[in-house]
A and B are shown apart, each in its own frame.
Chain A
Amino acid sequence: MNALAARRRHPAAIAVLIMLALILTGAVYAAVAPRPAEAATVSADQVAQGKQLFVANCATCHGLNAEGRSAGAGNLAGPALAGVGSAAVDFQMGTGRMPLAGPGVQAPQKARQFSQSDIDAIGAYIDSLAPGPTVPNAEMVDPTKGDPTLGGEIFRVNCAMCHNFAGAGGALTRGKYAPSLFSTSPTHIYEAMETGPESMPVFNNQNITPEQKRDVIAYLKAIQDAPSPGGQRLGSLGPVSEGMFAWIFGLGILVAAAVWLGKKSA
């Protein structure tokens, strides 16, 4: 300490001090500065890699620059993707809906075709075209932080008409359908609300705030995990499947019993 004190009048001391102060300021700023969650993980390399993957796998329908392409009069091969955000990419590719298996009214869910890092790269490329919703971080979709009661109320007003009161899904017009939410991951639920994939409308953050989205996720998680006290749920479809079960099996057993009772024993 004495050696340091002795050199405090050294001509370089002021320069060293300023240097240290600058580094400290920079470090503190970097630690506390507000920044988007994704910004830190996006590099130019990732964007370039994403573009490469995009051109190889997606451009057939979505165009070489993600500008969208039409397939003849009025038919869209694939929509323009500027501004859809990495959340849409993560949802569509993460649930296996994209790349599309074949033309049809709706992209079915299937096994994921790309690794998560490839999906993130394509997401980074789409984000670089125009700003859009980004992938939520783990805290935003943590079901343990949400309120399932409030989430249930929001779900029943905004989601249950298509996805069924228990999230079992349901039919829409002309072969389209709202998928079941029994096995959808919290991140994909969040992204679907934020981006409105396919027929689903958008539930932006002004309509359902991020906290309320987390409440909805908590509700869905709660009903996914809830044991089934009444036994087999029969698809959670309500009176349709329950009535069918009662008519076929309940009545069937009664008819069989009546036949057995009335039959001669020899």
Chain B
Amino acid sequence: MNEQDQPSTEVDVVVPGGGLDRFPNPGLPAHQPRLADLSEAGGRRAERQVAALFAVSILGTLVFLVAYFAVPMDATFYLPGVGETYGSHVLLGVGLALALLGIGLGAVHWAKTLMPDTEVVEERHPMRSSDADREDAVRTFLDGGPASQITRRPLIKYTLGGAMGLFSLPLLVQVVGSLGPNPQRSLYMTYWNGGPSDPGDHPTFKPLRLVRDPENTPIKATDVTIGSVFHVLPEGLLDMKDNVLEEKAKAAVILVRMDPSVIKSQKEKDWGYEGIVAYSEICTHVGCPVGLYEHTTHHLLCPCHQSTFDMTDDCKVVFGPAGRPLPQLKITVDDQGYLVSAQPFTEPVGPAFWGMEK
């Protein structure tokens, strides 16, 4: 123990740095003997407590074993505070918990009441090794080169260097490789462009019927009454074998009908059909589905971050973190009265990205 680590007994010791030690070092508190150390009765009491905890563990294990074999898996019972629940689950869980907790708590209680409680001050040694040890270490390191013969066998040196150098490539390639290729046009295109859109594809636009999700049935304009909301996908999307979710994540549309007199934007009226309007259901903030339509206020709310869009006014953002209005899908009806798309989305759906045209 160094000099400065000794507990001080004097008042007003000048400490290195020039300040005053404001109060005396109280030192370690006096050792308090435990009840079990003072009397045999106290020791027996602690013994009984530890034994009781171990007995709880034994009981828990028995409960577990009995529950495992005797309680049917699908038997339910009413547990206050939880409701109707499976008896087997509850008993297995409680049994295992008691079994483990009993051992753990018993061991700790044993250690704290009966095992020796001698208080030991562990002294702090200087971190620095002795000079001899340090010199020895340096010598061992320097001897390593000649001893391993790497200095006089250059073939090993260069192949090892090559192997380790080359191994950095798989790590680098993963990072660099995932930086490209650019998504190209796929961020600008959805299934409404006329079909699945892989990067580089240029599907030709054709009017697609609006179909219900998940029923996959087309929607007549007359089906959409005022105050109705439909969750819509382009026809054909749900028939795809692969990439259904990827396409759905871009093509989902929410369709509502409002009284045309409440629609403030002329463009919104023109792109809709007699008050039926279709907007991308993908939030322009981080791409959650914006499905909470309040038909009294015509507000469309995103459940993730509470972005709120005004459906009567081009789905402009009236609250929340979304940066731009939801894109509108221009719709019309075909000769059988079904709603169809009149053109693809004219701007990217979903969250904005680097390089997106304003």
Contact = CB atoms under 8 A, between A and B. Distances in A.
Contacts of B214: 153-154, 157
A201 interface: yes
Q: Which residue, of A157, A158, A196, A212, has the highest number of chain B Cβ atoms within 10 A?
A: A157
A264 B37 CA distance: 14
A170 B229 contact: no
Contacts of B294: 172-173, 176, 199, 201
A111 interface: no
A201 B227 contact: yes
A9 B294 CA distance: 75
Interface stretch (B84-92, B130-138, B159-167): B84-92
Interface stretch (A117-125, A184-192, A226-234): A226-234
B48 interface: no
A22 B83 CA distance: 61
Interface string A162-176: 100000001011001
A206 B220 contact: yes
Interface string A128-165: 00000000000000000000000001100110011000
A173 B299 contact: yes
B34 A265 contact: yes
Contact of A229 (B85, B219, B227): B85
Contacts of A153: 214
B82 interface: yes
A254 B271 CA distance: 59
A232 B82 contact: yes
A159 B47 CA distance: 60
Contact of B308 (A173, A231, A264): A173
Contact of B295 (A178, A201, A212, A227): A201
B346 interface: no
A48 interface: no
Contacts of A199: 294-297
Nearest to A225: B84
A202 B228 contact: yes
Classify chain A: how many residues form its interface, as a range: 20 to 34
Interface residues of B, number: 50
Nearest to A232: B82
Query: Chain A at the B interface: mostly helix, strand, loop or mixed?
Result: loop
Nearest to B293: A201
A207 B223 contact: yes
Interface string A190-208: 0000001011111110110
Contacts of A229: 85-86, 89
B295 A170 contact: no
B7 interface: no
B33 A266 contact: yes
B228 A161 contact: no
Contact of B225 (A178, A204, A212, A230): A204
A71 interface: no
Contacts of A172: 292, 294, 301
B82 A196 contact: no
Given A157-B231, A196-B227, A207-B212, A173 B297 contact: yes
Interface in A210-244: 212, 227-233
Contacts of B297: 173, 199
A207 B228 contact: yes
A229 B228 CA distance: 37
A30 interface: no
B338 interface: no
Nearest to A205: B223
Contacts of B23: none
Contacts of B223: 204, 206-207
B296 to A, nearest CB: 5
A261 interface: yes
A158 B252 CA distance: 13
Contact of A227 (B37, B84, B213): B84
Given A172-B301, A201-B228, A265-B112, A231 B85 contact: yes
B291 interface: yes
25 contacts: A153-B214, A154-B214, A158-B231, A161-B291, A172-B294, A173-B297, A173-B306, A173-B308, A196-B228, A199-B294, A199-B297, A206-B219, A206-B225, A212-B215, A227-B84, A227-B86, A228-B82, A228-B84, A229-B86, A230-B89, A231-B93, A233-B83, A261-B108, A265-B34, A265-B117
- Give 3 closest A-B pairs by Cβ, nearest first: A206-B223, A161-B291, A265-B112
Given A172-B292, A203-B229, A231-B90, 5 more contacts: A170-B303, A229-B86, A233-B82, A264-B32, A265-B34
Interface of A: 153-154, 157-158, 161-162, 170, 172-173, 176, 178, 196, 198-204, 206-207, 212, 227-233, 260-261, 264-266
Interface of B: 32-35, 37, 76, 81-86, 89-90, 93, 108, 112-113, 117, 212-215, 219-220, 222-231, 256, 289, 291-297, 299, 301, 303, 306, 308, 319
